[in-house]
Amino acid sequence: MSDNHRIVIFIGLFLTLTSIRITDGSVVSTGDFNKDFFVTWSPSHVNTSADGRARSMKLDQESGAGFASNQMFLFGQIDMQIKLVPGDSAGTVVAYYLTSDQPNRDEVDFEFLGNVAGKPYIIQTNMFADGFGNREERVNLWFDPTKDFHTYSILWNLHQIVFMVDWVPIRVYRNHADKGVAFPRWQPMSIKTSLWNGVSWATRGKDKTDWSKGPFIASFRNYKIDACVWKGNARFCRAESPTNWWNKKKFSTLTKTQRRLFKWVRKHHMIYEYCQDKQRFQGNLPKECSLPKY
């Protein structure tokens, strides 16, 4: 049995054990897109099921679309099930992210970059802290994300930000503020999603959007917002309490199992990491690149 087959079986067992996440009553989502989110642009390109439990967005030559959460949050975990644009999706970008929308904004980005038919989907993640980004990483997915829904999660606490795909950690951004590295810890952020035409850069900047294959559809369902609702005082969200489960010590770093999966993703599926791009930074890599991730 190959190493890849072993890790796939291992992921299956890991998913079985982690499919039920026990929390202490901090869930603030209703599961109804109409109640928890509002359409930010092009409502004619957003379709929501009658019960509010599922939503899709379309991209055509006229417009893309977007929606955002009604509330803002400071720390917690956000899960969203997404089925990405199928077929020839070159040039399309599905974005799912947290943002503070301030001049010195904090932002935690999932960006799903479409590709020509037969080529793997690329996940680009990025981090903005105190207004500075340029922290892109790219990973090829190990499955076809257009065939079914998969869960994309962000765990954000005082210690770390973890990007997860079906509970598998693909990126960790650790809090090294004590060493002079900016970390999102004061600004509340809202949840945003969008579907737009990123043809100028999304697919190597070469493969153009084939509008004859449109409209391009991305679908969302079964989201879960398990986070501290912003009420004007960061102290309540930063405190250790039964409700703020994400601040407990057990969530301050990756578990042994998560570390194994994290290393597997980085070894077999990572295609770009800003911390390895010495030419881009002219040999002066960002400070966090030399610091531990867990």
Angle subtended by helix axes 256-268 and 3-18, to nearest 10: 140
Residue 182 tokens read as 């900016």
- Would you list the DSSP string of 5-65? HHHHHHHHHHHHHHSS---SS-B---S-HHHHEEEEE-GGGEEE-TTSSEEEEEE-SS--E
Angle made by CA atoms 276, 281, 286, in degrees to the nearest 5: 70
Q: Count other C-beta atoms under 10 Å from residue 229's C-beta.
A: 15
Which residues are annotated as catalytic?
Answer: 107, 111
Contacts of 253 (CB under 8 A, 6+ apart): 159, 160, 294
Asked if 81 contacts 220 with a C-beta cutoff of 8 angstroms, the reply is yes
- How long a stretch of residues is the chain? 294
